[in-house]
Every structure is written in C-alpha cells, then in structure tokens.
Amino acid sequence: MKKFGLVLAGGGARGLAEIGVLKVLEKYNLIPNIITGTSMGGIVGGLYAAGITPSQMEDFSKELVFGKMLDAKYPLYLFEERKSKKAKLAKYFSIGASLVALGKKNALDSGRKIEYFLNKVTRGKDFSELRIPFACVAADLVSGKEVVLNSGKLYRAIRATISLPFVFEPFEYNGMLLVDGGIVSNAPVDIARKIGADIVLAVDVIGDIRRRKKEAFRTPFDTARRVARIAQNHIYEKELKSCDIVIRTGLDLETLDFSRNEECIMKGEEDMEKEIKKLKGLLEG
C-alpha cells in the first residue's frame, strides 16, 4: 500500500475537527504513515504521533477551560467569542486593556502554562520516540524563514508552531525567535511529500475566505486579523491544490472560541466519512 501522509492545518478552535478526522481514520484502520501540521494542527498531529488517542484528545477538549491555560494577568481570554450583546460590548472595551499590556510585553500571554501542559501530556517525548514520523512548522522572526521542526523535544516544537503573533510570546529556540507556522505554511504538504508520502490528505479547518461587512472592522485588531488572513489565504490555497484529497471542515467560529468543541469534532467525523471510499481507492490503487 502507498504511504499515507496526513496534513493538519492550523485554525485555532476549529482545528479540533481534526480529532474527528482521526477518529474516523482509526475506525477504518487507515493510520497515517506520516503526519505534518501547523499551529492547532501541530498540537493534534503531534499528540497523535506521540500515542495520544483521538478519544483521549476528545476528553481533553471536553474539560478544556481555555482561560485557565493563560496568564491570569493578561486579558487574552476576553478575545473569545461572546454570545450576549453585553459581553460583545465588553470585548471591545478590553481592546484598550490589551493595548496597554502589549506596550509592556511583546505578546498578551507568555505561553508558559500551555508549554507546561504540552510537556506533561507528551510525557517529555523526543521526536525519535514517536510512533509516527511527524514534523511541524514555525516561522523565524530573526531570519524571516520557514523552520521545519522534527527533532528534539516534541513539546517545544508544538509550543513554537502555536505561537500566534501578539497572542503568545515568540519561542526562543537555538538562536531563533519562532512564531506560528501559519504565516509561512498553514498546510505543510511539501514537507509530508519530502518525508515520503505518496498520497496526501489535508484537513482544511479554515474554509474559504468569507466576505465581511464594512462594520466588522471597528478596531485595529479587526483590520490586522483580516490583512493576515488575506495574505495567508494566497499561500494556503496553493498548498491545498497540491493535495490528493482535502477535507474541508471549516466552521464559522472565532479562533479562540472553544465553546463548541464537540460540534467541531463531530463535523470532522462527518466530513471524513464522506471521503473514506476515495482515500481507500487512492491508497490501494
């Protein structure tokens, strides 16, 4: 059978759909030979390569309280999606507090609590101890280049690939300052092929770039996020076109909105089920 490469894209909370994709792949005993990922895809892919089952990840997601994994002194949790009008208004008032925080630090959160969690859940495993070859991507602020992480401690690589600019502090690693890999490669298909994948299935959790109303851009943060999304999309779509299969699970969900985790996972399961027959045909052909 041909070597099967699984590429897990970044997309914040929407990336939990990738757990659903893994659940279905396991159901049909279609275990990837190679996994690559970026940002949230780096978390899901890295944990799976380390031996954490999709069911265990699903349990983690049910107990996940995002605010508890952040530095309490910074107001990052206020950027989560709020349902009530009063809460949404409070979100905009929090922008001022965030600007003050950014004036004193280079990000809203140090990432130390998340790093501790990743070290604990991966049991400090090294890449050489993984059951499935895995690589994730980050961007180096110093050199301006893409960095492929596939050696050393797994938790450190994951911490680097999730370092969303302005949100988490850049991760210092071997003289580099690493930030979220989505800047340079949100779907590292080429890396999966270089490692040896014959057939590549990518999981797109972002979806097509959607038209927004002019009223949606009320703050510099809104504009900055949109600019980054537009720039990222041009690279991202080219990457997806080079795949054999793309599972598109994108939900209309804020990046840091972890209130619909079960829905995300179920969406991943549903969309993967639709492509199982095609995947089997490509691997057996």
Instruction: Name the percent of the chain lying above pLDDT 70.
Output: 84
Q: If you average pLDDT over residues 119-145, what whole number do you get? A: 97
Tokens 């914040």 belong to which residue?
Answer: 12
pLDDT, position 105: 62
Give the H or E element holding residue 44: helix 40-49
E strand residue ranges, 55-140 = 134-140
pLDDT, position 232: 75
Residue 185: what are its φ and ψ, rounded to 5°?
A: -160, 95
Residue 158: what are its φ and ψ, rounded to 5°?
A: -65, -40
Amino acid letter for position 194: K
- Residue 179 vs residue 61, higher pLDDT: 179
pLDDT, position 209: 67
- Residue 53 vs residue 258, higher pLDDT: 53
pLDDT, position 97: 45
pTM of the model: 0.86
pLDDT digits (tens, 9 = 90+) for 198-244: 999 999 998 766 677 777 778 777 787 677 767 777 788 889 999 99
Cα gap 184→263, rounded to integer Å:
29
